[in-house]
Amino acid sequence: MPEILQLDFMRMAFAAGAIVGVLAPAVGFFVVQRRMSLIGDGLGHTAFAGVAVGTLLGISPVATALVATVGGAVGIEWLRSRHRAAGDQALALLFYTGLAAGVVIASAAGSFDAGLFAFLFGAILTVTGEDLVLMAVLAAASLAVVGLLYRAFAAVVLDEEGAKAAGLPVASLNIVIAGLVGVTVGVSMRIVGVLLIAALMVLPVVAASRVARSLRGTLLLSMAIGVASAAVGLTVAYYANLAAGGTIVLVSAAVATLAVLSRGLR
């Protein structure tokens, strides 16, 4: 067995990376297709506020971040669908409120420390067995929802108005997608951090859509790129002694850049 896999924390990290590598693009796929790529970023900031609340109250920051992100995701979808705010304005509201609330609450809790930075920038090497079980359960449930509702989600993505006319419950489906984004951000924040979480939801999808020749192919390829980015990024980070979360995202960004450039050259 290679040295890197003889270490418990690295095996945990690879397992966590694989989970997030599959889940983030699978959910991000529907967000990117709806041209709402930055929603993950906005929810990352909301997650930061959730973490700060957890720290203040002395309860699991992951749980409070999950509540904050799912609530934020559903809220943004509500604002968008009721035309109370344009999509980008709703995102901006979420973005800045989340970040400002996180800073204020964290300072009130006196918790500007390494623990908080682990959520901001990721701490995949500190993932525990308990974290892994929670991540696996939430990811499996989310992927099951994606599998079950794939055709309906795709119909909304292809033509939201046509889906409405056909009688699909478009508003409910959009809320489910938003909820899945919230769960994904909550599950993934320990891996790459709330500041980079959107990257894993978006970049593998951008890369796959330049290479694949069908919607389903794009989804499956983006999940493969997500897992590969996590594995390569972790390996490089381990041997080069770099920050794991950032390295994973840089690998993913390199793949996306290559895909975009190669498409341009064809």
Partner 1 sequence: MPLAVELRGVAFAYDGGPPVLAGVDLAVEEGEFVAIAGPNGGGKTTLLRVAIGLERPTLGTALLFGEPAHRLARGRRLGYLAQRSRLATDAPVTVREVVSAGRLASGRLLGPLRGPDRVLVRDAIAEVGLAELADRPLAELSGGQQQRAFIAKALAGEPRLLVLDEPTAGVDADAQEALAALLARLHSERGVTVLYVSHEFGAVEDIVRRLVLVRGGIVFDGPPEDLPGAWHDPSHVHA
Region near partner 1 per CB under 8 A, out of 90-98, 112-120, 145-153, 180-188: 145-153
Which CB atom, from 81 or from 111, has the smaller least distance to partner 1? Answer: 81
Please report whether residue 241 would count as binding partner 1 according to CB under 8 A.
Answer: no
Which CB atom, from 2 or from 147, has the smaller least distance to partner 1? Answer: 147
Near partner 1 by CB under 8 A: residue from 163, 198, 207, 250: 163
Q: In the window 180-219, what residues touch partner 1 (CB under 8 A)?
A: 209, 212-218
Closest CA relative to residue 190, chosen from 54, 6, 92: 54
Distance CA 203, CA 188 (A): 15
Region near partner 1 per CB under 8 A, out of 32-40, 70-78, 129-137, 178-186: 32-40
**Number of neighbours of residue 133 by Cβ within 10 angstroms:** 10
Near partner 1 by CB under 8 A: residue from 4, 11, 15, 34: 34
3-state helix, strand, coil in the chain (%, to 5): 85, 0, 15
Cβ 87 vs Cβ 157: under 8 Å? no
Which CB atom, from 61 or from 204, has the smaller least distance to partner 1? Answer: 204
Near partner 1 by CB under 8 A: residue from 165, 242, 258, 261: 165
Shortest Cβ distance from residue 48 to partner 1 (Å)? 30
**143-141-226-24 Cα dihedral, nearest 10 degrees:** 100
Shortest Cβ distance from residue 146 to partner 1 (Å)? 12
Shortest Cβ distance from residue 218 to partner 1 (Å)? 5
The gap between the terminal CA atoms of the chain, to the nearest Å, is 41
Distance CA 222, CA 202 (A): 9
Distance CA 264, CA 204 (A): 17
Number of residues that bind partner 1 (CB under 8 A): 31
Near partner 1 by CB under 8 A: residue from 132, 136, 143, 160: 160
Which CB atom, from 128 or from 172, has the smaller least distance to partner 1? Answer: 172
Closest CA relative to residue 98, chosen from 130, 65, 58, 60: 65
Angle at 18 between CA 16 and CA 23, to 5 degrees: 95
Q: Where do contacts with partner 1 occur on this chain (CB under 8 A)?
A: 32-34, 147-152, 154-155, 157-168, 209, 212-218
